[in-house]
Amino acid sequence: MYLPRSLLSTLYLHLQRTHHPLSAPVLILVALEPDALCGCRILTNLLKRDYIAHKIQPIAGYGDLEKTGRTIIRPMMEGEGGSGGVVVCLGVGGLVDLGALLGIDADDDENSYGGVEVWVIDARRPWNLGNVFGGYPMLPQIEKDWEMVDQKIPGVEGGKIGQNYKPGKGGVIVFDDGDIEEDLDAEKESFLALMAMPEVEDIGVDSESSDTESEAEAEDPTPSSGQKRKSWAVNDESSDDDERPRQRRRSNSSTPIADSPSRPPKRGLMSLSGPSAISSSDTRSVSPTPAQQPKPPSARTLRRRLLKLRRKHESILQAYYSLGASYSEPISSMMYSLASDLGREDNDLLWMAIVGVTSMELYGRSSVGVAVATQKPSNSAGWLGSRGSRIRQLLRDEVRRLNPPELSDSSFTSNRNQLPENNGIIPTTARSPTDTSIRLSPEPKFLLIRHWSLYDSMLHSPYLSARLHIWSDSGRKRLHKLLAKMGVSLVQCKQSYTHMDMELKRGLRTKLLKYSEVYGLDDLVPAADTDGKDRGGTKEGWGFVRSWGWRATLSAQDVGVVVGAILEVGKQAVTNLETGAWDRRESKEISDEDGTLESEEWVGRFWDAYDALEKIEELKTALPTAQHLHRAILRTGTSLISKRQIRHLRAFRMCVVKDGPDVTLFTHPSALTKLALWIGEAIAEQEKESKGKLGHGGRGTPLVVAGLNEARGVYVVVGTGGGGGGGLGFGNREAAKARKEKREANVKAREENRKQKEKIREEKREARRQAKIDNGEDDEDDDEEEVESESEEESDGDSDDDEEERGKGFGRNKFGNAFQEVVEETSARVRIDSFEHCVVEVKKEDLAGFLESLSMKAVVG
């Protein structure tokens, strides 16, 4: 089931009304990523205010999720001795059948879910359609019009939850950010049609068995009283697994992956033809009259129609799952929307939402999946495009609303112009000892500039590294020349930025704007009010900064970088700044084959990151960890490019990290993803400079990076898209609306055309049938001609839809699909446990064969 955006707060309000001290605590399952962590902070803040008991459970991967379902969630079911309850999944399980994976979708319909209600909030796409349009407990069947039919869930229509829905029975509920309502009309129609279809075996319609069975079905089509109407299924001995939408399981893991659903034979049947078929002997015994009714289609014809219709709907669902990965609205943004609907907005919740949204960009999560951002956001649709721009604009509006400018003796206008950020200076200190406000700041695309020197901040910026070719000696000289033109000496720029000369800091933005175009750094600095470039004072492209009195002032990007480093490297990892040595203190040696100890270590880091989001001192302590991680990214990326260790295979480029002092850092998938994005952006810039355009039809060249985990004898492999696709597909409301209107117009025109053809065909058919009856011939072949004609019509209509949807999925990251295909076709030992499906683990000995097979796959849409 899915909850539309307009009813976002209804489930929470029901929980608020019905929860009492003896109720089971709300269980919150959280993925190990900054966005989910920020969303968890917002939700727990709401629950604390309402005195609702809750428990947080970090989830490292699908294996961890299945274990949690078996040990914690299943005992909550009423049939297992529990009392039901609410489970909230933040960034966890949106792509899989949660009912099956958690073990709560029981085979017995009456005990299914057992009062356990699962809320799913996830930014990853595609959705598992079984969760979206199914996922509800089945009520006992009732007899209606001589057949057993399903009871409808009150308040649920076509999987959509309405105003009169009453929670508490259990089920899986997906929180819709708008994508389902706007973009999944065709998928919804196909999924529901497949669920309503009777089971039928796809056998040759020309075989003798098919004819025999069809005739047998036609002889006695009406069941006796109290008996279920006979299904069109040939094989009635279906397994339990076939009684829910079919799922394909991941190799070497317990994760079911969405596939086309099939209709369970025991749940309701769909009437295909109305009146039962009449035998040919009965037809010939009736005297022909001008008003004779047309002969109903035979059972064989009905079977053919059903199979053709099923294949059509299955192809629509398969096309959806094959589009590739993408990202939609962040979890933290959805949770802040919930807080806003409840009237609970404040600066703390707003800051969590801002940090979560900002972290999406750090991990390259866009409307084309994990990919390099090679286009300006304004030129693309979806997340990081037009939709992302609207969300960030709403956050800027919230900052202005909750943080009004301080009034002083001077006039409002003069006070506003005196603020350093409005003069192009990035704020580094609070306005007062008690200042905890959030401000907008014209942040340049530097890294941790408040906590590093200007030189180091520019040197480690992925944006500057790619465009200045920092990995080469000529690139370093280019950076030095840029600083020299700006009038900043190396001695001054290597000082801590907060201790730099104030005059230099005041003029820094003006100098950057002056010389950035010379070096192709058009987006290095956002526009400011004083430039006259900012449209209506919206401050588009500006960053967010918050102060904690005199203790610290950090940007949202700073917090996202530090929290991510805690999750990826760990709090116990410290840098010896004097020797440059790296010491992993108090960390366990990880040698287990399946990564259990490794996952436990990652879960331990979750609580450090969770605390750091609220405790500023913990956040400041972890700054050296973040700096070391990005130094390692620069060192490793520079080494791979300068030593020409990046190979160009058929479908992508690839490199392997197996040597050097930093190899252990990149055993974590997120750290390896950051390295891959750094290298990918550098490659994209090289392509544009050498060829004048991006490769792969403007989508950029995909990249595969493998990092060696020597302790476990595996390679962690991550595949990033080349970006540049623009994210055509989900997210763009205007484009979605235009597509919907065009689709409706096509359907209307096609229906009129069909009616006109049907009228002509019926006249010809009646004339042909009358002629055959007069001659005493059998007219059985008319059914086949009818089927062929309808097939031609539908194929014509499908071509229109294909033309309409041609841009859907363009440029998306399809590494997840490609990994699955390689696993099915080869004997490579592969473990897929990450919620990020473009990340896998491959045995050390099998890497070469795995990459060889992968090079033959389509990895970008």
The mean per-residue pLDDT over the stretch 481-490 comes to 89
Contact residues for 260 (Cβ-Cβ < 8 A; gap 6+): 194, 245, 246, 313, 314, 317, 318
Does residue 460 carry a pLDDT above 80?
yes
**With bands split at pLDDT 50, 70 and 90, how would you rate the model's confidence at 669?**
very high
Does residue 455 carry a pLDDT above 90?
yes
The mean per-residue pLDDT over the stretch 19-34 comes to 93
The mean per-residue pLDDT over the stretch 383-392 comes to 72
Rounded to the nearest 10 degrees, how much is the dihedral formed by the CA atoms of 787, 788, 792, 798?
50
- Dist. CA 297–CA 276, nearest whole Å: 9
Each residue of 775-830: pLDDT tens digit?
665 544 444 444 444 444 444 444 444 434 445 667 788 899 999 999 988 888 99
Q: Which amino acid is at 663?
A: V
Q: Which residue has the tokens 């022909």?
A: 288
pLDDT at 109: 59
Contact residues for 459 (Cβ-Cβ < 8 A; gap 6+): 465, 470, 479, 634
User: From residue 717, how far is each of 322, 623, 624, 669, 737 by CA, in Å?
Assistant: 21, 27, 27, 8, 38
Each residue of 351-387: pLDDT tens digit?
999 999 999 988 988 888 888 865 554 444 445 556 7
The mean per-residue pLDDT over the stretch 730-758 comes to 67
Averaged pLDDT score across all residues of the chain: 78
Does residue 14 carry a pLDDT above 90?
yes
Each residue of 113-136: pLDDT tens digit?
888 999 999 999 999 999 999 888
Each residue of 305-358: pLDDT tens digit?
889 999 999 999 999 999 888 899 999 999 999 999 999 999 999 999 999 999
Does residue 704 carry a pLDDT above 70?
yes
Rounded to the nearest 10 degrees, how much is the dihedral formed by the CA atoms of 7, 12, 16, 19?
130
Rounded to the nearest 10 degrees, how much is the dihedral formed by the CA atoms of 82, 83, 88, 89?
30
Ranking 165-179, 457-471, 511-525 by mean pLDDT, the lowest is 511-525
Q: How many CB atoms lie within 10 A of CB 279?
A: 12
User: Between 296 and 678, whose confidence is greater?
Assistant: 678
The CATH topology of domain 645-727+812-854 is: Diaminopimelate Epimerase; Chain A, domain 1 (3.10.310)
pLDDT at 417: 53
Residue pair 672/640 in contact by the 8 Å Cβ criterion: no
Does residue 414 carry a pLDDT above 70?
no
The mean per-residue pLDDT over the stretch 447-471 comes to 92
User: Domain boundaries in the chain?
Assistant: 385-624, 645-727+812-854, 733-804
Which pairs count as long-range contacts for 750-755, CB under 8 Å and 24+ apart, including other chains? 750/796, 750/797, 750/800, 754/793
Each residue of 675-685: pLDDT tens digit?
999 999 888 88
pLDDT at 575: 43
- Dist. CA 180–CA 127, nearest whole Å: 9
pLDDT at 522: 82
Does residue 691 carry a pLDDT above 90?
no
The mean per-residue pLDDT over the stretch 188-206 comes to 77
Residue pair 101/256 in contact by the 8 Å Cβ criterion: yes
Does residue 391 carry a pLDDT above 80?
yes
Q: Which of 56, 52, 51, 24 is nearest to 39 (CA)?
A: 56
The mean per-residue pLDDT over the stretch 24-32 comes to 95
pLDDT at 510: 86
Residue pair 380/386 in contact by the 8 Å Cβ criterion: yes
pLDDT at 339: 96
